[in-house]
Chains A and B, each alone.
Chain A
Amino acid sequence: MNILDFLSRDILYLDGGMGTLLQAEGLGAGELPERWNTTHAEVIKKIHRDYYDAGSNVVNTNTFGANRLKFSSEELEQIVRSAIDNARGAIAQSKGTQPKWIALDIGPTGRMLKPYGDFDFEDAVATFAETVRLGVKYGADLIFIETMSDSLETKAALLAAKENSDLPIFVSNAYGEDGKLMTGADPAAMVAMLEGMGADAIGVNCSLGPKALKSVVEEYLKYSSLPIILKPNAGLPKAVNGKTVYDVLPEEFAAEVSELIGRGVRIAGGCCGTTPEYIAKTVKASANVIPVKTEKKNITCVSSYTHAVVFGDSPILIGERINPTGKKRFKEALKSRDIDYILREGISQEEKGVHILDVNVGLPDIDEVEMLKTAVCELQAIIDLPLQIDTSDPMAMETALRRYNGKAMINSVSGKQESMEAIFPLAKKYGGLVVALTLDEKGIPETAEERVDIARRILAEAEKHGIDKKDIIFDPLALTISADKNAAKETLRAVGLIRTELGCHTSLGISNVSFGLPERDIINGAFFDLALGQGLSAAIMNPYSQEMMKTYYSYRALSGLDDNCTEYIGFASELPKESVSVAAEKPKEASSNEGHASELQGAIIKGLKDQAANLTAELIKNIEPLSIVQTDIIPALDVVGVGFENKRVYLPQLLMSAEAAKAAFEVIKANMPGGGAADKCSFVIATVKGDIHDIGKNIVKLILENYGFSVTDLGRDVSPDTIVEEVVRSHAPVVGLSALMTTTVPAMEETIKQLRKAAPWCRVVVGGAVLNQEYADAIGADKYAKDAMETVRYAEQVRNEA
């Protein structure tokens, strides 16, 4: 019988714990349990048989950690083969009459994925893939991914299972007391991602007892349209008189699990500390519970690695600022791979209150595939908002979706056949909410009705690809009213028709409507308001626009979405009062030039970032940018730098001043023709291979930039060839290498060796916690620098020699 058919009618019972039983049989501390499949086959077979006898429909093979990180490929194959044989043998011997299946068990790799660990996503996929292929080869009936505590690793495992088998896939995550995965995802986020990718059943196991997991299970039942798995621990282990006991006993466990079966759980078993007795009692206790039908939920949502954003009554704001179109500074940042610039743009939109960030990094002369992947990964390292991936290149789209941690918004597909054929398969494979533009080969139709027709065709085509209506959001296209006075009217009608006739959500790029008009914000805010009235669900917008934010907060307050108008009041209280600040600062401007100079110096020395930027902006109206640098910024930096060298200024203060100086430089850069990119001395900096510490490196980079070096930051965990390649390319006269661990110093030595060969002109300065002069000499560096200032002094010396 097909397990999914069985599941559609019955409760499917799983097995219980394996590790605790193996320890009772003599598995030693530090011994790998998977090896017992071959060395103690009878023990494993007996445990499986006891579970089948207790009523389990499915047992998981003893392959939790069976992967290439722990075993050679020959041994891995032996282990998986015997693991499945053991389960098959147990079926043959079991007296149970229930239908029985064998699940290939897959646990986490035990390695943390990048960016917080060093394990690459594709390496994780390849690791899982090898085990999956063996499971398929030796006849597993399904794949059971379990105890995953990181969303991205869960995705890697599910992707590997999908790409290497046609078997049903169950995915189960381990939640902490706080109801989240170790890396932060809540149940709604996991449901969004796993359903989107096509898991067959999802749920929770391990970490806690059934009662403690109840609230997590309820979240799964609320959001998911798939059968839900519950496989809890027998509570927590406690030492009683020198013996280990779990604090939830079989009767209590069975009663609690049965209660949750009554609420809708369809797949039940046990994890750590549970035994065949727990399963037998659970089967018995729930024998008369009528299985609850799994309902389709029709929730339109996207997710990040922490939470889901659901489209409904409250408007969703999608920040549009990560996009180079029409932005000189952004283009420059992209060309110089200044990722921090993109990150700051993301963070400040987040602070303005957007729910999703649009990410577009397309420029004619950059490698968009690589850049988009980098931008998505880096943004997801530090910002927990879901992303809308915005590209017209299907290859860039696929690369970004593959790495995306969650369920992304896909921007966009259109009614053109070619577009649908390129995008829908990606949405099907990786999951995602697809933004569909109502245009086709003939262009954008004039009337609302024609746009709705295209929307209908898009829905029909999506269905052919197995994509549900809830995963399409339409953009009926805001056109410019200065070109056609009826443009906005038709778009607004289309929003209403799509909502009422098709029952779909809509999104609009608001600002197009006002193109060519003065004070565009006024029109944008009003158009947003009218569109919301028609049932618009989301807007791609500029969160720095006060008119847009006014509309957003007042709409929520007027629609009963803002309890006690709290958010509106908060927003209103932060609105700037009629340019008071400008007026207050006026008198200062009247003072003499020297006064200005010392004031800016003072701001930098005290580390006042905003003040330094404002003062520079004032000064630049009357004074040459370069002279501000010479008479104010550099002297101020010197005061602090010398203070630090003389131990009168501490590191945090040095950094605060450096940040203030950087803020001043940003203003100057924006006011210089050509962005101030004078021919500066270049400096390449990196944390070496195997090392993921970068705080020291970042400090050195900041200070160097302030002292007029053009710093190329290659990041952390950088291989020797990448460093050599960049030094050769830029012909940099000096490179800085950082290592914090004794184990990564050899990588530093190797990098220096390769640099000597390929770039003999280049001086190497090294730093980091484990290094000292002696060590630096031993690995052949030119200079050991104990801190950022010493690096600056050395770099200046190299620059002066050149």
Chain B
Amino acid sequence: MTVYTKVYDAPPFNKKEILRYAGVTGDVAELDELLQTCIDEVSKRLTYKVCYCELPVKRNNDRIELGPIVTSSKALLKNLSGCHSTVLFAATVGVEIDRAIARHSALSPTKALLFQAIGAERIESLCGIFDSDIKEEKARSGYFTSSRFSAGYGDLPLELQRDIFTILDCPRKIGLTLNDSLLMSPSKSVTAIIGVGNK
């Protein structure tokens, strides 16, 4: 089992989505300029890294095994129905977004909030690109892929993060670490499982 890494170019920024993360649901034209300043400040400093591996799915009564990961999560079981294999991945946009958030927390909480929202939109976009890459690749072999599923969703325990980090060797591969309370650093990061099955 090999862990691969991918480094992506920056996906286009979705301002509407960023503002939604910042709690803005309507049209607020006056925020546009400020948001653009924030995007310009941080855009060149972000990295878009993913590490991943494939693990076969084994079912054992109501338990499910993905390599060394063993769980009886019903939600995961349901998500992986019809799947014989999974792609386990970790993605991060790097520590610079955390630096920007911290810096502006001292200067301007408004900007700190916007950087927070930019980070959320960035990591979601990164996951989106990777997800569609995998979907495309698997479709070529005649497989479908399930929607991505993370530890902490439904009844899939967050503690699985420890196994995921050991399997993917995230610190070495993409500079992503896990702390005692199962938070990831850099904070704008995601781990998830994508199921792969016959169409």
Chain A contact residues, CB within 8 Å of chain B: 23, 28-32, 107-108, 110-112, 115-119, 147, 149, 174, 176-178, 182-184, 206, 236-239, 244, 339-340, 343-344, 347, 381-383, 606-607, 650-653, 655-656, 658-659, 690-695, 698-699, 702, 741-744
Contacts and interface: CB of A to CB of B under 8 A. Distances in A.
Given A112-B185, A344-B107, A743-B181, A237 B113 contact: no
A29 B55 contact: yes
A353 to B, nearest CB: 17
Contact of A118 (B98, B163, B179): B179
B101 interface: yes
A702 B187 CA distance: 23
Contacts of B113: 651-652, 655, 695, 699
21 contacts: A29-B53, A30-B167, A110-B165, A111-B177, A112-B185, A116-B98, A117-B179, A149-B172, A177-B7, A182-B94, A206-B172, A237-B4, A343-B106, A344-B106, A607-B110, A650-B28, A651-B113, A652-B24, A698-B112, A742-B152, A743-B182
B17 interface: no
B195 to A, nearest CB: 18
Most A Cβ at <10 Å: residue of B30, B96, B180: B180
Contact of A695 (B19, B112, B172): B112
B107 A691 contact: no
Nearest 10 Cβ contacts at the A-B interface: A182-B175, A30-B68, A651-B23, A690-B181, A112-B185, A382-B103, A117-B185, A343-B106, A655-B110, A244-B2
A692 B175 CA distance: 18
A698 B110 CA distance: 10
A30 B166 contact: yes
B171 A110 contact: yes
A147 B169 CA distance: 13
Given A147-B172, A237-B2, A659-B110, A744 B181 contact: yes
Contacts of A344: 106-107
B154 interface: no
A116 B186 contact: yes
B31 A658 contact: no
Contacts of A694: 105
Interface string B105-149: 111111011101000000000000000000000000000000000
A691 B165 contact: no
Interface residues of B, number: 59
A354 B98 CA distance: 24
B95 A382 contact: no
A741 B183 contact: yes
Given A149-B172, A239-B2, 19 more contacts: A23-B2, A28-B68, A29-B68, A116-B95, A117-B177, A119-B179, A149-B175, A176-B47, A238-B4, A340-B106, A344-B106, A381-B102, A650-B22, A653-B30, A656-B110, A692-B185, A695-B109, A698-B105, A741-B181
Nearest to B100: A382
A650 B19 CA distance: 10
A197 B150 CA distance: 42
A7 to B, nearest CB: 27
A344 B103 CA distance: 9
A695 B158 contact: no
Contact of B185 (A116, A381, A651): A116
Interface string B43-55: 0000100000101
Contacts of A692: 179, 183, 185, 187
B26 interface: yes
Nearest to B22: A652
A562 B95 CA distance: 33
B67 interface: yes
A692 B98 CA distance: 11
A762 to B, nearest CB: 25
Nearest to A69: B180
Contact of B171 (A32, A149, A690): A149
A340 B105 CA distance: 9
A183 B95 contact: yes
Contacts of B69: 30
A184 B109 contact: no
A511 to B, nearest CB: 26
B79 interface: no
A118 B108 contact: no
Given A112-B179, A149-B175, A741-B183, A652 B2 contact: no
B71 to A, nearest CB: 14
Nearest to A788: B109
Contacts of B37: none
B47 A691 contact: no
Contact of A30 (B4, B25, B109, B163): B163
Given A183-B95, A347-B103, A659 B177 contact: no
B99 interface: yes
B72 interface: no
B60 to A, nearest CB: 17
A69 to B, nearest CB: 10
A650 B28 CA distance: 9
A247 B87 CA distance: 23
B167 A29 contact: yes
A23 B3 CA distance: 12
Nearest to A739: B181
Nearest to B68: A30
Contacts of B186: 112, 116
Contacts of B73: none
B5 interface: yes
A422 to B, nearest CB: 33
Given A29-B1, A30-B68, A182-B94, A653 B108 contact: no
Contacts of A658: 109
B111 to A, nearest CB: 9
B166 to A, nearest CB: 5
Nearest to B171: A110
Contacts of A347: 103, 106-107
Nearest to B112: A695
Contacts of B26: 650
B109 A110 contact: no
